[in-house]
A and B are shown apart, each in its own frame.
Chain A
Amino acid sequence: MTKKLMYGTHAIGEAAIQAGCTCYFGYPITPQNELPEYMSQRLPEVPGGVFIQAESELAAINMVLGASVAGARAMTSSSSPGISLKQEGISFLAGSELPAVIVNIMRGGPGLGNIAPAQSDYFQATRGGGHGDYRLVVFAPASVQEMADLTFHAFDVADEYRTPVMILGDGMLGQMMEPVVMPKPRKGKKAAEKDYILTGAKGRPARLVKSLILDTKDMEEHNWKLVRKFKRIEERETRWEGYMLDDAEMVVIAYGTAARIARGAINRLRREDSNLRVGMIRPITVSPFPVKAIRDAAQTIKDFFVFEMSTGQMVDDVRLALEGQGTIHFYGRPGGVVPSARELGRSIARRYYQAIRKRKQ
């Protein structure tokens, strides 16, 4: 297992190729341009590899739809404003039950915003984003290694459940370099036969892939089918990581870059003050959200500190998970600001001692 120092964006690209992705379609936008650039160089080396710089994000996501329905593993990537444009296509992918991997390297918003790392698109990513009654599977890596691992895994999840899957990163994860052990396809592992793809109706009945279902009863059943599918995903694919939870009196909940900063803050606090018992739950899938992990923690822990690089989006999911139990503290830095571990640590420590004082009263 050799390690290679890689950029986050390149790790995503290489992992996609290792996962058997042969098609990439995208439109340039900062801070993720290094990913299409990487793919433009790598895909021509891959048998059947297709790279197109599309005329827009709309075109790109629909090229993905076409490649996917033709049976290929396909992906696109963008950053916040471009992801907004892709939402129609993502909704069509979900409705037509077509696999695809979509990467969002988030930046500050709304509007054109800026190009600094942010977590401003959590609602959009986890609530479907496009129109209609569906859920997206969303992975939130927190390191370059995870960008590779989760991208590799995302293609399997997309195929297994016939669903679009999103990798939700941010400018910092995209730009930084870390050592990576690149996931490799298991030898002899054959991709499952896809019985819905379009190949020309030779020797079989014609196939139809669509999302238009005019009969309301049928549409209703289709909606419930998507719900059942997501339930299955929830049961089998939900991922999270616990950190220093054993003796914790307060749990920080953060994902992606924010979770890394939080981890730094927790390490610092624990080093400086042994009375400060803070742990962390880091959602790795933000959709499905690790509800059970948080509910379980709430059995013994009363204070939850949510940190996001936004004005507070995931905090809603924490609130829903806790169902009124415990107390939620929130610290947010939107707009592309990345706080230091020290700054965050101060906020955590303050809330921690306030909470303890309150409990004693």
Chain B
Amino acid sequence: MLIKTIFSGFGGQGVLSTGQILAQAAMLQGRFVTYLPSYGAEVRGGTANCTVTISDEEIASPIASEPEFVVALNQPSFSRFQNLLHSGGFLLYNSSLVEPAFVRGDIETRGVPITELAQKIGNVKVANMIMLGAFIAVSNLLAFDRMLKHLPDILGAGKAKLLKANQEAFERGYHFIEEHAHGD
């Protein structure tokens, strides 16, 4: 099994760090993983994206020309990256910012209002962790409990203060998908 995911959004939405957290979690769960950020001129203009590949065997190409999943945190990413998706792929988006106007017929989509959910937790900075929780729920790529357990290691000493908020956000996103099993 080899799954490629593109995380995309505005710079500052934590797109790159979300991808890195997923990559670290995959490594800690004994999977093969690559993380490839967009770079240079591509990141000018305030957009950012990265590709995380998770696999049970050695990964050949780290580039996602046809990802299985796209996580879009803003409108431009929603439009741009849904075109790349593998037929039958999954598009998870931030419904607080994205108006899902045009959607391909051969993919699945799911919106999560991460900004509102984050406000309820009382910290908009952890909105990306809500998305990551939701992503784990829809993708089943990694074991949720183990990932939750590894979060302190992954976030490291630097984020110790925000650890609780991050954990809470991660759980909130995961359960949001479970609670709204048939869409919102």
Contact = CB atoms under 8 A, between A and B. Distances in A.
- Touch between chains A and B, by CB atoms below 8 Å: yes
Interface of A: 3, 5, 30-31, 114-116, 171-172, 175-179, 260-267, 338, 340-343
B65 A340 contact: yes
B66 A342 contact: yes
Considering residues B24, B60, B61, B65, which has the most beta carbons from chain A within 10 angstroms of its beta carbon? B61
A264 B61 contact: yes
Interface stretch (B32-40, B72-80, B165-173): B32-40
Given A176-B35, A176-B62, 16 more contacts: A5-B27, A31-B39, A171-B39, A171-B40, A172-B36, A172-B63, A177-B23, A177-B34, A177-B35, A179-B33, A262-B60, A263-B61, A265-B60, A341-B60, A341-B63, A343-B65
A260 B23 contact: no
A139 to B, nearest CB: 20
Nearest to B154: A5
B57 to A, nearest CB: 9
A172 B62 contact: yes
Nearest to A114: B41
Given A5-B24, A115-B41, A178 B65 contact: no
Q: Is the interface of B mostly helix, strand, loop or mixed?
A: mixed
A115 B23 CA distance: 25
A338 B63 contact: yes
A114 B42 CA distance: 12
B27 A3 contact: yes
B39 A178 contact: no
Contacts of B128: none
Nearest to A261: B61
A260 B61 contact: yes
Contacts of B27: 3, 5, 179
Nearest to B32: A179
B61 A5 contact: no
B20 interface: yes
